[in-house]
Structure 1
Amino acid sequence: MVGGKRSRNFDDDDGYRDFRPRMPKRQRIPPVVQLCKEMMPDIRTLGETVKAFEEDIKFLSEAIANEFDNEEYFRNALLSTLYAVVLEQPHKQPAIALLTMVVNAANPVAGKSILNHFFGKLQEWCDTSIDEDFQVTSSETGPWNRIKLLLRFLSLLSPMVQEDELISLYQKFFELSVELNNLSTEKRNPLSEAIYSNTLLNIPYLFFFSKDNQNLREKVAELIAGVEASYVVKNTDLSLIKEYNKSPPYEPRRWVQTVLPNVKRVLANDMQQITELFPDYSSMMVQQPGDQGFNDPLNLPTVQQLEPFSGLDRGLGSIDGMWKVPRYSFRVYLPNEVGEFETVVPFTTYAGMLFEDLIIDIIESMEFNRKEVAKQVITLDLFFKPGIFTEPGQSIAQLIALHEENPIITTYKIEDLAIEKILSMIFKLPNVSHPFAYFYTLLVEICQNSPKAIAPVFGRAFRYFFNNLEQLDLELKLRYLDWFSIQMSNFNFSWKWNEWEEDSVKFGKTFYNPKVTFMRNLIRKELRLTSSKTDVEESLTDEFKPYLDSSFVSRHELVGYYQSFFANFDVDETMLKDNDLFFAQSCFPFSEQIQNVVNYFHQQPLDRNVSELAAIFEDIQKAYGNIIVDFNRFVTTILIQALTFSGNRSLSHANKYIGDSKNDVLELLSKMDVTQELKERWLIEAIIRFWNSNSQNGFLIVDTCKNFELVSAKSVLHFSFLEDNDRVWGLVDATSVESTFRTLTELSLRRDADVETFIYLFERLVDIAAETTEKLGTSPDVPVAVNESSTDFRELELGWKYESCLGFIKSVLRKYGDEYAPSIDHLSTFVNSKVSHTKTREILESWLMELKEL
C-alpha cells in the first residue's frame, strides 16, 4: 500500500491491460558472432594505423590463439578473412604473416591450420588453372595471379615453415616455367613468362623476416642460378601493342627481361635494398620453431595439360590476361625537366616493379569497392619503410627546392605512383581489363578525397599526353580524350587553356594536326557533357572560342549540301537551324507536303498505308520536280530526315520511329532504280547533316538504321572515309572514329562476322596512305616524317594525314586481329599491289606478320 492505494504491477495477470507498446524482443547475438563482428574488421584494416599496429598484433593474436580451437564459426570466419586480405590487399600480407606467426608461437595447432588453409588454396588454384568450366567474375584476376599471391604469403612465413618445403615450391614453379618456355624455340609462351616473372618477384619475400638466415640465402642463390641458366627470354617485339607509333618519350621495359636483374640487385650487398624497402617488424616477432610443413606435396598440372591454356587468351582473369602479349612498363611522370629527378620509383628497381604489381593487384581484385581502392593505393607507403616517399601533397616546386638543398633526399611521390599505375590500366594495349568508367571514376574518387594534392598530378599527366599526341596510338588518343573530358567536367571545365594557345595560333586552321584535332574534339565533347554551354565558354580563352562551333561540316558546306538538291532555286543561309527539318520551312513550295510526311510517321503503325506516303512524293514530283535535281536522292533524304526530326527528343524516340517505319522506308527505296550503296550513302549523309551541330547523335542514329538493316556496316565506313579536298573526317573527328570502332566491334561479336567489311576498311585506309605518299613525293626508301618547323602547310597536312592513316591501320589490325588474321595473305597481296612507297609497305607488312603473335 502506498498512500492508501494498491500499487499495481502490470506484469501480473490481475485483469489490468498493459498498454505499453509491444516491441519485438531483441535477438541475442551469440558471443562468437559478436567476437567475429569486432575482430574481422580489425584484421581487414591491420596496419592502416601505424601507431596502433603493435597493439593490434598483440590483441588479435591473443584472441585468435585462445578462440581458434573453440568454435568452427570463428575458424571459418578467420580463415576466410585472412584469405580475402591476402588476395585483395596484398600490401598487407606482411602484417597478416606476422599475425599468423605470433599466433603460431602461442598455438601451433592454429598456426598449422592457417598454413594448411593457404596451401590448400594454392593447390585449388593450380587445379583450377586447367579447368575448362572456370567461371570468371568481374574482379577475378586469374588462377596464376592468385597462385603468385599465395606463394608470396607462404614465403613470408619462412621463419615458421621448413626451408626445404618452400624451396621445393619455387623449384617446381621454375621448372614448369622452363618446360613451357621450351615448347617452342622461337615463339614466346605467355604462361611461361607469367610464372617465371611472378615467381622471381616473390623471392625477396622469403627474407622479409629471415634476412639473417644464411642457409636460406645459399639455397635461394642456387635456385636463382639454376633458373637463370635454364630460362631463355624470347626477344619478341610487337609494334602493334606499343603505346607510341614513333619516338617514344621513354624506353619501355619488358617485365620478363627486367625482373631477374631487379631481384638479383635487391638480394645483393647483404640485402641492403630489402632493409631499405621492407618495414622492420622484428620487435614484434616471436621465435618460431621453424618446423611447420605442408601435409602433401604440391601437384602442379603437367605441361601437356597446361599447353591449351598457355596462351592466356581464354578469359581466365584480368591480370593473367595481361601476359597474353609481351608485358611492358608504362610511364607518365618522367624525370622533372627542371630538377632532373624521379617522382615515381623506377621500374628498373625491385621496389618499382613491386609497387606496380601491388597497385595493379589492388585495382583489379577490389573493383567491387572503388572507394576502398582509392584509399588503399594512396596510402600504400604506410606498409613500407618510412622515408621511401616524400610527404603527401608536396608540389614539384617544393621538391625542386628540397632537392637543390639536399640532392640525396627522396623525391618519390605516392600520388604520382598511384595515378601512373591507374593510367597504365586505362592506356593498356591491346585491351583493358574493366569498363573504362571504373578507372575514370576511381581517379575522380581519389581526386575528391584530396583535391589539392591530386589535381596538380592530373594536370601534369594532361600535359604529358598532350605533348606526345603526335606519337600516341590512335586508340590511346581516344582514351585520353575521354579521361580528360570527364575530369574537366568534374573540375567545372577549368583548365589553363593559355598553355596550348601557341599550338592553336600556329596550326589552328589545319585539318589533320593532332593537337588541334584533340583540342577541337575535347571542346566538342565537353559541350556534350554539360547542359550549360556557358560553363565551357567561360573557361576558354579568346583563342579557343571559335572551337565552340561544334558543326561537323562548316555552315558554308551545309548550305552547299542543301543547295545541291535544287536547280533554279536558291537556298538562303539564314534558313539553316540546328536539329530542324530543313525542307519543311515555309519558304519551300512543297513545305506542306513535307509536313504531311512527318504527320504520316506520327500515326500509329497500324493506321498507316505506305501508298499514302508514296502519293505525297508523287504530288511533289508532279508539281515541283523541275526544281529538284535528283528526285530519288530527295525522297531518300526527306524520308530519313523526317524520321530523325520526329524522334529528335531522345535516342529511344529515334529508335521507335525508325523501327516502326522501317518497312515503309524499305518499300519506297526498293522502287528506286539506284544502287543500294548509293541509297545507303544518301541515308547516312542525310542523318549526319541533320545532326550537323551534334554529330555524335547523328552517328548513333546511323547505328539505329544499321541495326534495322536500313544501312550496312560497310556503308557507314564508306561514308566516314570519303575524301573531300584531302579531308577525311573519319581520320580526325572523334564521333566518326568512335562510330567506326563501334561498327567493327559489333561485327566482331557476331558469330557470322562479315570479314569482307573488315577487309574493305583495311584496303580503304591503305589506299588513302598510298595516295598520300604519292602526293608527298617522299623517296621510297625514306620514312615519311613531319617537319613541324616547315612553312609548307600543304606538306604538313599531308604528313599528318599519313600518320593519322597509318595509326588507324595499326589500331584496327590490333583491335580486330582475330578477324584479320585469316586474310593475311590477301591483305599482303593488296599492300604490295597498291603501295609503291617501300618504307610504308614494310611497316604494313610487319604489322600483318605480327597478327600471328596476337
Structure 2
Amino acid sequence: MVGGKRTRNFDDDDGYRDFRPRMPKRQRVPPVVQLCKEMMPDIRTLGETVKAFEEDIKFLSEAIANEFGNEEYFRNALLSTLYAVVVEQPHKQPAIALLTMVVNSMNPVAGKSVLNHFFGKLQEWCDISIDESFQVTSSETGPWNKVKLLLRFLSLLSPMVEEDELLLLYKKLFELSVGLNNLNPEKRNPLSEAIYSNTLLNIPYLFFFSKENERLRGKVADLVSEVESTYLVKNTDLSLIREYNKNPPYESVQWVKAVLPNVKRVLANDMQQISELFPDYTTMMKDQPGDQGFNDPLNLPTIEQLEPFSGLDRGLGSIDGMWKVPRYSFRVYLANEVGEFETVVPFTTYAGMLFEDLIIDIIESMEFNRKEVAKQVVTLDLFFKPGIFAEPGQSIAQLIALHEENPIITTYKIEDLAIEKILSMIFKLPNVSHPFAYFYTLLVEICQNSPKAIAPVFGRAFRYFFNNLDELDLELKLRYLDWFSIQMSNFSFSWKWNEWEDESIKFSKTFYSPKVTFMRNLIRKELRLTSSKSDVEDSLTEEFKPYTDSSFVPKSDLINYYQSFFKDFEIDIDLLKDNDLFFIQPCFPFNETVQNVINYFHKQPLERSSSELMTIFEELQNNHGNIIHDINRLVVTILMQSLAFSGNRSLSHANKYIGDSRNDLLDIMGKMEVDQELKERWIIEAVIRYWNSNSQNGYLILDTCKNFELISAKSILNFSFLEDNDRNWGLVDATSVESTFRTLTELSLRRDASVETFLYVFERLVEIASETVEKLGVASDVAVVVPKDSTAIRELELSWKYESCLGFIKSILRKYADEYTPGLEQLNSILDGKVAHERTRQTIQNWLRELKEL
C-alpha cells in the first residue's frame, strides 16, 4: 500500500493488459545491402557536384575495387547501376568511364567484369534488333540507340581496351550501314542512316582519354576516310515533314549530311575542338594494366536479317523511330537581331549535334522521371569544359552588353539549348514520341524550378512562332496553340498582349488572317482552361477584350438560324442566351411542349416509350404547324437540343442522356421521309448551335452521336467544311480543326475503316482550294502569293484561305499517309478532275509522290 492505495504488480496475472503496440523486431540490414544503398545513389549523381568530383571518384573507386569480388549482390547492383546511368544519362558516361578505369587500375578483374557486362549488353541489343517479339516500353529508345550509347561508353574506355578490337566494332557497324544503304541505290534506308550517323557521332569519344595516342589517330583517320568513300549519302528531301510551308526562317540541315563534316572538323587541327569541348580528367586517370579484350567477337545481324526491320517502322523505340523519315535540325533561338550572335551551339558543329543528341536521349529515356529530366537538361554544361556556356540565367540584354565589350566571349545559353531541344520534340513531324502532356509538363517543371531564368526563354519562343505563323505547318500551329495556352494557364495567364496589338488593329476584321486566327483561338482556349473568366480578361489589353466572345458563329448568324424554322413569326432575339435551350423561352408559343420533351428525357429509360414522344410532336404540329417551315427539321432540332440542355452539366451527363435515348431517336427519325444525309446535318447543326459559345463541347458531343451511330464521320466533316459567303470555319476554328483530326484519327485506328472518308476530306479541301484560286484570278503557271499590301483585304483573305486549305491538305496527307497511300490513283484522279491551276496541282502531286516515303 502506498498512500492508502494498492500498487499494481505488473508481474501478477490479474487482468492487466499492455496496450503498447507490438512492433516487429527491427531486422538488421545486411552490410552489403547498406553499402549499396549508400553507394549506388552516389554513382547515379556522379559529376553533378563539380567540386566534389575528384573526391567522389577516389572514394567510389576504392570501395568498388575492395568490394567487387566479395558479394554477388554488390556486383549485380553495381553493374545494373552503371548500365542505367550509361543509357539513361549519357552525358555522365565520361564520369562513369573514368570511375571504371580507376577501378581497373586497382582491380583488373573488376574492370574486366564491367567491360564484359557492357559488351554483353551490346551483343544483347544487336540480337534484339531482329526480334519480332520485342516489347517496347514507354521509355524505350530502341535497340540501335542502345547500340550507339554502349559503343560510346566502350569508346571512352579506349585506354583500357585493345584498340584493334574496339575499332573492329566501328568497322563492322560501318560495313553494315553501307550494305543496308546499297540495298536500293535510289531509296534511302532509315536504319542505314541511323547506324551511319550514330557510329560517326561516337568517334570523337575514342579520344576523350586518348588524345595523345598517335597510332589510334592514324587508324581512325583511315576508318573515316574509308567510310567517306564507301557510304553514299542520298538526297532525300520530304516537303511533307517540313515545319514551314514556305519561306522558312532558317535553313534546316539533315543529320545524315551534317554528321561526317562535323566529325572531320572536330578531329582536325590536332583535335583542338575536342580539347575545347571535353573536360580534362587526366589528373585523375591511372595507368591501365595492359589492354583488356572482349571475350567474344561481336555478332551483328546480317543485312538479310535486318532488311525487314530497316524501315524502322515496327515500333522498336522512340529515338530509333525518329530515323524513319529524314531527320532535320530544328531551330527556335536564331541569331539575336540586336547583337547578331547565337545563343544555341550551331547544329553544323560537332558540339551542337552532340548536345542535341544527348538532350534527346535524356528526355526520351527518362520519361518515367520528369523531375529528374527537368534537372539534368539544364545542368548539362557541368559535364563539359567550363566556358562553353554563359552564366546560367543571363538575359539577352546582359549578353548584348558583354558581347559588345568583348566580342569573343561566349553567348551560348544552356537554357536556350535545353528548351529548344524539348520544343523540337513537340514540333516533330510526322509523329511525336510521347503524349504531348509529357513535354508540356516538363517545360512547366523547368520553368517552376527557375522562373526568372526560364520565363524570358519561353517568351522569346512564343514570339518566334507567332512571327512565323503565316508559314508554319497547320498541325504545328495547333501544337503551338496547346503549348502556349497550357503555359499561360500555369502562370496566371500573364502575357504582354500589347506586343501583338498592331497585328490585331490591322486585321481584327478579317476572317482568315493566321495571326488573328491564332489570337482568337488562344483566348478561347484559355477561357476553356479556367473556371474564372476574369483571370483571362484581366490579362488582356483593351484591343483584345472583344476576342473573349467565344461564339462559333456571330450572333447574327445564330439569330438567322433560329428564325429560319418559322414563317409569320418573329423570335425575340433578346432571349437568346449562351448554352441554353432557346425553344423553352416565353417567346415560343410551344415552349411548354418542349418542356414536356425535356421531362421525357429525365425519365428512366424503362419508363419511356417513343410513342409518347411521337404524341408530343404530333400535338406540336397540329397546334403550331402553321408557323413552322419544316416540322421534321424542327423535331430533330428540339430532340438534340433538349438532350444537350439536359446533359449540359458535363460531357459524361450529355453522353448518358444521348446513350439512353438512342433507340428513341432512331425510331422517331426513322419514320421521317427525309434523306439520311439531311437528317444528320440537322443533328450536327442543332448541337453546334446550342453550344455556340463553347464549340469544343459541341464537337465532343457530336463524337458521342457518331459513336452511337446517329451520325456518320463523313457528315461531321461535311458540316465543318461548309462554305458560307467565303467563310469556312473548318479552316480557321481550332475546335473544328481538332474535330477533323480527331475524327480521321479514330477512323485510322479501326481495322475495317473505309478509305472513302479520307478521300472525301481530300476532295473537299481540293475543291475549296481550286474555287479560291479561281476567285483570285491567278494565272495557271503562277504561284499564289499573299500580297504585302494590307489594304487589299479581299485579296488578302482569299490568299490566306488558299494557304490554309493547302496547309490542311499537306497535314492530312502526312498524318494519314497509311490510309492515303493505297488510294493514290484515286487521289490523282480527284486532283486532275478538280484542279485547273497548274501550280496548285504540281504542289499537291509532289506531296502525293512523297507519301510512300512516310
Establish whether TM, by shorter chain, passes 0.5. Answer: yes
Change (3 A) 1:321 1:20: closer
Structure 1 Cα separation of the partners of residues 546 and 673 of structure 2: 43
What are the within-5 Å matches in structure 2 for residues 743-782 of structure 1? 743-782=743-782
Match of residue 73 from structure 1: 73
Match of residue 92 from structure 1: 92
Residue 123 of structure 2 aligns with an amino acid whose one-letter code is: Q
1:790: how far off? Answer: 3.8
Contact between 2:571 and 2:588, CA under 8 Å: does it hold in 1? no
1:585: how far off? Answer: 1.4
What are the within-5 Å matches in structure 2 for residues 526-541 of structure 1? 526-541=526-541
Name the SS of the counterpart of 1:774 in structure 2. helix
What are the within-5 Å matches in structure 2 for residues 780-795 of structure 1? 780-795=780-795
Match of residue 5 from structure 2: none
What are the within-5 Å matches in structure 2 for residues 670-709 of structure 1? 670-709=670-709
Change (3 A) 1:163 1:11: farther
Change (3 A) 1:584 1:223: same
Residue 787 of structure 2 aligns with an amino acid whose one-letter code is: N
Name the SS of the counterpart of 1:288 in structure 2. coil
CA deviation vs aligned residue, 1:479-521 (integer Å, no higher than 9, x gap): 0000000001112111111110000000110000000000000
Change (3 A) 1:644 1:20: closer
CA deviation vs aligned residue, 1:162-214 (integer Å, no higher than 9, x gap): 00011000000000000000000110000000000000000000000000000
Structure 2 Cα separation of the partners of residues 205 and 9 of structure 1: 77
CA deviation vs aligned residue, 1:420-466 (integer Å, no higher than 9, x gap): 00000000000000000000000000000000000000000000000
What are the within-5 Å matches in structure 2 for residues 98-113 of structure 1? 98-113=98-113
Structure 2 Cα separation of the partners of residues 598 and 669 of structure 1: 17
Contact between 1:10 and 1:17, CA under 8 Å: does it hold in 2? no
Change (3 A) 1:19 1:447: closer
Residue 498 of structure 1 aligns with an amino acid whose one-letter code is: N
1:326 aligns with 2:342: no
CA deviation vs aligned residue, 1:247-274 (integer Å, no higher than 9, x gap): 0000000000000000000000000000
1:672: how far off? Answer: 1.0
Q: Percent identity?
A: 82
Structure 2 Cα separation of the partners of residues 424 and 541 of structure 1: 31
1:676: how far off? Answer: 0.7
Change (3 A) 1:444 1:11: farther
Match of residue 713 from structure 2: 713
Q: TM-score, normalised by structure 1?
A: 0.98
CA deviation vs aligned residue, 1:10-57 (integer Å, no higher than 9, x gap): 999999998865432111000000000000000000000000000000
Match of residue 524 from structure 1: 524
1:826: how far off? Answer: 1.1
Structure 2 Cα separation of the partners of residues 25 and 145 of structure 1: 48
Match of residue 844 from structure 2: 844
Q: Which runs of 5+ in 1 are unaligned?
A: 1-7
CA deviation vs aligned residue, 1:99-157 (integer Å, no higher than 9, x gap): 00000010000000000000000000000000000000000000000010000000000
Structure 1 Cα separation of the partners of residues 711 and 236 of structure 2: 42
Match of residue 723 from structure 1: 723
Match of residue 433 from structure 1: 433
Contact between 1:399 and 1:411, CA under 8 Å: does it hold in 2? yes
Structure 1 Cα separation of the partners of residues 798 and 93 of structure 2: 56
Match of residue 494 from structure 1: 494
What are the within-5 Å matches in structure 2 for residues 433-512 of structure 1? 433-512=433-512
Structure 1 Cα separation of the partners of residues 227 and 753 of structure 2: 44
Structure 2 Cα separation of the partners of residues 771 and 490 of structure 1: 43
Match of residue 377 from structure 1: 377
Name the SS of the counterpart of 1:227 in structure 2. helix
Match of residue 4 from structure 1: none
Match of residue 213 from structure 2: 213
1:789: how far off? Answer: 2.1
Contact between 1:158 and 1:206, CA under 8 Å: does it hold in 2? yes
Structure 1 Cα separation of the partners of residues 219 and 329 of structure 2: 30
What are the within-5 Å matches in structure 2 for residues 162-561 of structure 1? 162-561=162-561
1:827: how far off? Answer: 0.7
Match of residue 830 from structure 2: 830
Structure 2 Cα separation of the partners of residues 505 and 563 of structure 1: 33
More displaced 10-residue stretch of structure 1: 787-796 or 767-776: 787-796
Residue 326 of structure 2 aligns with an amino acid whose one-letter code is: P
Contact between 2:108 and 2:289, CA under 8 Å: does it hold in 1? no
Change (3 A) 1:470 1:797: same
1:290: how far off? Answer: 4.0
Match of residue 136 from structure 1: 136
Structure 1 Cα separation of the partners of residues 317 and 12 of structure 2: 66
Q: Which runs of 5+ in 2 are unaligned?
A: 1-7
Structure 2 Cα separation of the partners of residues 258 and 470 of structure 1: 29
More displaced 10-residue stretch of structure 1: 620-629 or 281-290: 281-290
Structure 1 Cα separation of the partners of residues 829 and 20 of structure 2: 91
Structure 2 Cα separation of the partners of residues 168 and 493 of structure 1: 57
Change (3 A) 1:429 1:290: farther
Contact between 2:781 and 2:838, CA under 8 Å: does it hold in 1? yes
What are the within-5 Å matches in structure 2 for residues 44-55 of structure 1? 44-55=44-55
Residue 795 of structure 2 aligns with an amino acid whose one-letter code is: E
1:339: how far off? Answer: 0.3
Name the SS of the counterpart of 1:339 in structure 2. coil
Name the SS of the counterpart of 1:283 in structure 2. helix
Name the SS of the counterpart of 2:284 in structure 1. coil
Aligned residues: 847
Residue 37 of structure 1 aligns with an amino acid whose one-letter code is: K
Contact between 1:10 and 1:18, CA under 8 Å: does it hold in 2? no
Structure 2 Cα separation of the partners of residues 816 and 398 of structure 1: 47
Change (3 A) 1:271 1:580: same
Q: TM-score, normalised by structure 2?
A: 0.98
CA deviation vs aligned residue, 1:280-300 (integer Å, no higher than 9, x gap): 000000011341000000000
Match of residue 57 from structure 1: 57
Structure 1 Cα separation of the partners of residues 651 and 20 of structure 2: 58
Change (3 A) 1:20 1:570: closer
What are the within-5 Å matches in structure 2 for residues 590-629 of structure 1? 590-629=590-629
Structure 1 Cα separation of the partners of residues 17 and 88 of structure 2: 57
Change (3 A) 1:559 1:303: same
1:587: how far off? Answer: 1.9
Residue 390 of structure 2 aligns with an amino acid whose one-letter code is: T
Residue 724 of structure 1 aligns with an amino acid whose one-letter code is: D
Residue 206 of structure 1 aligns with an amino acid whose one-letter code is: L
Residue 125 of structure 1 aligns with an amino acid whose one-letter code is: W
CA deviation vs aligned residue, 1:72-103 (integer Å, no higher than 9, x gap): 00000000000000000000000000000000
Structure 2 Cα separation of the partners of residues 451 and 835 of structure 1: 51
Residue 668 of structure 2 aligns with an amino acid whose one-letter code is: L
Residue 471 of structure 1 aligns with an amino acid whose one-letter code is: E
Change (3 A) 1:750 1:16: closer
